[in-house]
Amino acid sequence: MPDQMGALLCQLHIMIISQAFCIFEYVYFARADSIFEGQMVYAVRMQCGRQLAIEAPVEADIVGSVPESGNAAAHGYSRQSGISFAEVLCKNRYVGRSFIQPSNRLRQLSVAKKFGALVGSVKNKRIILIDDSIVRGNTIGPIIKLLRNAGAKEVHIRVASPPLLYPCYMGINIPTREELIANKMNAKELANYVGADSLAYLSLEGLIKAVRSDLKSKNSHKVGHCTACLSGIYPGGVPNQDSEYDW
């Protein structure tokens, strides 16, 4: 627009948009030795385990993990709680990740081939079993059955992330709310369903605290994470239900 002298003025309107990295990278997807936002993923997962021990303590003899994505959180839970860590499951490394299998049947077959219980660690023990997340709920039940068949006295499930309640529209294999077990059952109901003595999740506030506790950047516009699958708040908005981008 021209000013009073007839010269043209150009006005720039700059919108500052906060970044929104996928928080599930820390929970599950990233390799434990990855450096993400300047911090090691393994350290963040350990911090999630520490926070989980504060939020959801339980008496037990040992802390174990669903390998391998639950390992770091289990060590964090063990250190915070003072309960010894022990390996309770043996993993077949030649079987792929069950979460990303395309069908429920393939996911269940994957679990059956993937794990074996370590009887010497498990027999007559009260176990806190740490898993990184529970998505559809079809893998944790067979694992608990394995541990009980190996002689576990109690199995308490502790999940190092909040309940997944909403679909991901950014390409992750969580297309509908109906397939997410947390939409069908609360923690107590899910514990009964999978055969656990108890089950508890890390809170969303606890996850964010763990993720951001050691971030180098304190600039609020540079510190942001997408929690849409946990909170229902989508950084880019929810796609139009009639559009071709509605997964």
Residue 74 lies in a domain: yes
What is the distance, to the nearest Å, from the Cα of residue 131 to the centroid of all Cα atoms in its chain?
A: 8
Does any domain span residue 56? Answer: yes
d(CA 168, CA 165): 10
Structural domain boundaries enclosing 215: 25-231
The domain that contains 92 carries what CATH number?
3.40.50.2020
Could you read off the pLDDT of 134-178 as tens digits, one per residue?
998 988 999 999 999 999 999 999 999 999 999 988 877 776 888
Phi, psi of 116 (to 5 degrees): -135, 145
Q: Is the peptide bond before 68 cis (omega within 30 degrees of 0)?
A: yes
Q: Which pair of structure tokens corresponds to residue 238?
A: 């929810």
Q: Give the separation between CA 31 and CA 122, rounded to whole angstroms.
A: 27
CA nearest 202: which of 70, 49, 71? 49
Residue 62 structure tokens: 């040992």
Instruction: Quote the pLDDT of residue 103.
Output: 54
Full-model pTM: 0.83
Structural domains of the chain, count: 1
pLDDT one-digit tens code per residue, 202-231: 999 999 999 998 886 555 444 689 999 999
Whether 8 is covered by a domain: the verdict is: no
What's the whole-number mean pLDDT along residues 62-83? 97
pLDDT value, residue 245:
44
In a domain, 240, yes or no: no
